[in-house]
Amino acid sequence: MSTKMGRPKIDNPKTYDLKVRVDELTNKKIEAFAKKKNLTKAEVVRQGIYLILEQNK
């Protein structure tokens, strides 16, 4: 049994943790958008960050 066990390596690991506090309305909007687009809340936030960064180059 020389095969490795565990999760496979990924190209871009998410090694940093970011905590953000939001109000109830913002949370509901993020959850609704994530459900509609079949994304996680974290991916919605990441996409929002990328969008802002691209707009402000």
Structure pTM? 0.76
Report how far residue 5's alpha carbon sits from residue 16's, in angstroms, rounded to the nearest whole number.
24
Write down the residue that tokens 């996680």 correspond to: 40
Tens of pLDDT along the chain (57 residues) come to 567 788 888 888 888 999 999 999 999 999 999 999 999 999 999 999 999 999 998
pLDDT, position 3: 73
Write down the residue that tokens 């993020």 correspond to: 30
pLDDT, position 9: 84
CA 52 from chain centre, in angstroms, equals 15
Report how far residue 15's alpha carbon sits from residue 11's, in angstroms, rounded to the nearest whole number.
12
